[in-house]
Structure 1
Amino acid sequence: MLKTAFTHYINNFRGFSREIWILAIVTFINRAGTMVLPFLSKYLKEDLSFTYNQVGWIMVAFGLGSMLGSWLGGKLSDKIGFYKIMIFSLFTSGVSLFFIQYITSFGALCIAMFLLMVIADMFRPAMFVSLGAYAKPENRTRALTLVRLAVNLGFAAGPALGGLIIMGIGYPGLFWVDGASCIVSISIFAFLVKEKKKAPLDDKIESAPEVKSVFQDKIFWVFLFVSFVTAMIFFQLFTTLPLYHNEKFGLSEFQTGLLMTLNGLLIFALEMPTVGFMERKGFAKIRVIILGSFIMALSFFLLLINFWAGILIVSMVCISIGEILTFPFSNAFALSRAPHGQEGRYMALYTMSFSLAHIISSKVGFEIITRLGYQVNWFFMAVIGVIATGCCFWIKNALVTERIQ
């Protein structure tokens, strides 16, 4: 029985091209090496002695750079090709990380962080477009899921390694290792993977080829709102929820870490089999996103039960299931929606919705908590999750109307 289950699990990883596996490995190396980000605010506060206000502004510059980089990466991927953008982005940001550790003044660091993220986040939309080129149409959603798995595993390993490096050689070591991981990972990619011209997607059931510009695609803009909202409520997992664990239920850092590990284990164990099953059964992407966004909203309604610590586990399971259903199929929907030649622009806006959510999520969450308390914040997040689910139903109906026309 156990052997059969294991075989079924492994089968979900079959059928990928060599390039997709190399891309997943490269992504893992790069994400595992991204050690600066988890410790950035701590480094700015403790090592450089900036005020909380200054740290906040540097993080705003960080987020704005990420948004601009995402847009430029997508636009340039359409113009000159995803391959060149991926190599330029990771190699240049790797070299930049070597030097940014020597910038210690507030103004200069704001500018440096902004420019670094412009360059670094050009990679994300280009990488999404590359999946459309190297993955087979029948397993494109699973290919996106494989890369997401590599990202999650990399992020799980990175902070632990980062902590050891800080203990051993201090914060400068983070910049050296992070920069080196960028250069090594993209060098492996450039050496083993040859450039491939983007072929038209074959799974354009949900696309609108008559749309001349992404700015005219009303369905896609409603979808971007859904992506922004689901990302915004998901990011509460890393901002307000850890504080709530301690302040309301007295959980230690270790216990909060165990809850985060539960999320990672569920993603690792369930995401690929779930996506593989739904891909084989031909589930419409928007139907899966509807279910995922509703479950994510439900997880925050559950947090309103604030007299039993066990609800934190139940809520975490719901958040994880919502993540499994929402994010892989959102990636795939955005890519399948793009007309040929505009994949980069569409994926740029999609990644920008996450960058914007990252900036706003903590600001809104902490502001509500400061003024009105945790319960109001959970209710607010749950309600906007329900609104996002309603928007998904509108998208589903609009897609039916679009096909009829």
Structure 2
Amino acid sequence: MLTCPDMRDSWHWFLKNTLIRYKDFQFSFIIMKKFLEAYKGINRTVWIFTVVMFINRVGAMVMPFLSIWLKEEINLSLAQTGLLIGVMGAGIIAGSYLGGFLSQKIGSLKTIKLSLLLMGIFLILVYYSSDIIVLTVLLFILGCVQEWTRPATLYFFTQSLKPENLPKASALYRLAVNIAFAVGTTLGGLLTAISYAALFWVDAITCWFALIFILVALKGFNDKKETEKQKIINSGKTNLRIFYFITIILFYYTLFFVFFNSYPLYLKDFCKIDESTIGILISGNAVIIILFEIQLVNYIGKRNLNTRAVGVGLLVGALSVLTLLSGSSLTIQIIFIILLTISEMLCLPYLWAIAAYLGKESNKNIITWYSFFGSVAFMISPVITNFVAEKSGYDIAWIMISVFGFISLAFFILLRNSGEIFLKSES
């Protein structure tokens, strides 16, 4: 039985720990409240659409393991595997343009629905095909139809949101994609341990599940109204400002995609870092984005620092690559990843918004070209980086890529000085 002092001590212990837990809960609640407030202005339709894209991206498990499947399961040579991946990349470039074209002609939501349906079908067809010619054709088509969603997503956001909320929507979308990619890649690795059939079928089923979800959740969405709005948003003629913007996209994305293509190879071959550590380093990019991007976008938006943010982001991107000249230590790699991720968070959400502005004021195809040249950059980035690294060494390659960053910054200054680059609220 407790004595009075024992009871008092127990009561003090209870109060102390309860208050501490209450304060911890209160702090967590405040953090969560601020996190959710950062998304204020994004309507229900965009939230539903982002959930659909999350489902689809979680299921995008085949791509990280496609080259392994072609080489190990289909028994293709390394050269044949590279050729087929290249053909699929060509399909992605074609799809980025065709997706924008379809979004204008039939509506962005219809384009996404069609993409989800066909992706599931062609994933299954690819798995059950072993003839190299048939595989080549099917992979080109698969790359094409899966890329339709990229320009269609930008069209959808442009039509569904007020101009000032586009960067927030971009940050939300990128948050969903980064989480989904981490989850999907992990699940994909587990499924390959079972069988590649499971990998392809689960990927296809998630495409169809996302399609069903969008049919039910956005049943009343008027795609015809979207198309009418597109004609207003995308009226105008091509001018020099479009050239400036496309140049920014081509050079900056070539720099940015080094992180996903050539940089892991550099870590393995030059820095002698093992695969598990490489995986942790690369995933650090997604972790930083998940934790900080929406808060950063919200801060910049409240203070109307959009233009300055992009300029600083392009500069930081160019400087980040130069840090790789300092050595191959793990510390240097961490600094590079942090700087490049900061650049990404400052640039990518706002490049969407600039595309929307130029689409309204200058050129009906600017969103399509934005996606198209982004895809081109994805294809050429590893080609030119690896070629220069092999012929002249990684230091020369990094200097070249850094110069690309400074070129994008120079053209951004030209674009900024030529007039407005962000849409103003129409409300």
Equivalence for 1:290: 311
Equivalence for 2:198: 173
Q: 1:208 to 1:102 in 2, by over 3 A?
A: closer
Equivalence for 2:404: 384
1:360 aligned counterpart, secondary structure? helix
Per-residue deviation, residues 150-201 of structure 1 (Å, max 9, x unmatched): 1111111111100100001x11222111111111112101111132323759
Instruction: Using the TM superposition, name which of 228-237 and 177-186 deviates more.
Output: 228-237
Per-residue deviation, residues 40-90 of structure 1 (Å, max 9, x unmatched): 111111111212221222122111111211211211211221121111111
Displacement of 1:221 in angstroms is 2.4
Give distance in 1, aligned partners of 2:271 and 2:170. Answer: 37
Give distance in 2, aligned partners of 1:83 and 1:208. Answer: 17
User: In the alignment, does 2:110 pair up with 1:84?
Assistant: yes
Equivalence for 2:184: 158
- Choose the corresponding residue for 1:306, options 327, 342, 358: 327
Displacement of 1:248 in angstroms is 3.3
Equivalence for 1:317: 338
User: In the alignment, does 2:205 pair up with 1:183?
Assistant: no
Displacement of 1:208 in angstroms is 9.0
Read off the aligned partner of 1:191 and give its amino acid letter: V
2:330 aligned counterpart, secondary structure? coil
User: In the alignment, does 2:271 pair up with 1:234?
Assistant: no
Q: 1:318 to 1:341 in 2, by over 3 A?
A: closer
**Which of structures 1 and 2 has the bigger CA Rg?**
2
Read off the aligned partner of 1:188 and give its amino acid letter: F
Give distance in 2, aligned partners of 1:2 and 1:224. Answer: 44
- Choose the corresponding residue for 2:127, options 88, 92, 101: 101
Q: TM-score, normalised by structure 2?
A: 0.86
2:42 aligned counterpart, secondary structure? coil
Instruction: Using the TM superposition, name which of 125-134 and 333-342 deviates more.
Output: 333-342
Once the two structures are superposed, the pairs formed by residues 346-365 of structure 1 within 5 Å of their partners are 346-365=366-385
Instruction: Using the TM superposition, name which of 306-315 and 239-248 deviates more.
Output: 239-248
Read off the aligned partner of 2:197 and give its amino acid letter: P
Displacement of 1:370 in angstroms is 1.1
CA RMSD of the aligned region, Å?
2.3
Per-residue deviation, residues 271-322 of structure 1 (Å, max 9, x unmatched): 101111112222244x322211111111110000015331111111001000
Instruction: Using the TM superposition, name which of 72-81 and 136-145 deviates more.
Output: 136-145
Indicate if the aligned counterparts of 1:78 and 1:341 stay in contact, CA closer than 8 A.
Answer: no
1:304 aligned counterpart, secondary structure? helix
Aligned residues: 391
- Choose the corresponding residue for 1:273, options 289, 295, 298: 295
Indicate if the aligned counterparts of 1:74 and 1:346 stay in contact, CA closer than 8 A.
Answer: no
Once the two structures are superposed, the pairs formed by residues 27-38 of structure 1 within 5 Å of their partners are 27-38=53-64
Equivalence for 1:399: 419
Give distance in 2, aligned partners of 1:2 and 1:393. Answer: 42
Displacement of 1:2 in angstroms is 4.5
Indicate if the aligned counterparts of 2:163 and 2:353 stay in contact, CA closer than 8 A.
Answer: no
User: In the alignment, does 2:275 pair up with 1:247?
Assistant: no
Instruction: Could you tell me which runs of 5 or more consecutive residues in structure 2 were left unpaired when the two chains were aligned.
Output: 1-25
Give distance in 2, aligned partners of 1:43 and 1:307. Answer: 32
User: In the alignment, does 2:283 pair up with 1:261?
Assistant: yes
Give distance in 1, aligned partners of 2:138 and 2:221. Answer: 31
Displacement of 1:261 in angstroms is 2.0
Equivalence for 2:155: 129
Give distance in 1, aligned partners of 2:267 and 2:296. Answer: 29
Equivalence for 1:110: 136
Q: TM-score, normalised by structure 1?
A: 0.91
Equivalence for 1:146: 172
Q: 1:248 to 1:65 in 2, by over 3 A?
A: closer
Give distance in 2, aligned partners of 1:35 and 1:308. Answer: 32
Q: 1:97 to 1:229 in 2, by over 3 A?
A: same
Give distance in 1, aligned partners of 2:398 and 2:344. Answer: 17
User: In the alignment, does 2:357 pair up with 1:336?
Assistant: yes
Read off the aligned partner of 1:189 and give its amino acid letter: I
Identity level (%) = 29
Displacement of 1:262 in angstroms is 1.4
Indicate if the aligned counterparts of 2:288 and 2:341 stay in contact, CA closer than 8 A.
Answer: yes
Give distance in 2, aligned partners of 1:283 and 1:326. Answer: 12
Read off the aligned partner of 2:148 and give its amino acid letter: M
User: In the alignment, does 2:84 pair up with 1:64?
Assistant: no
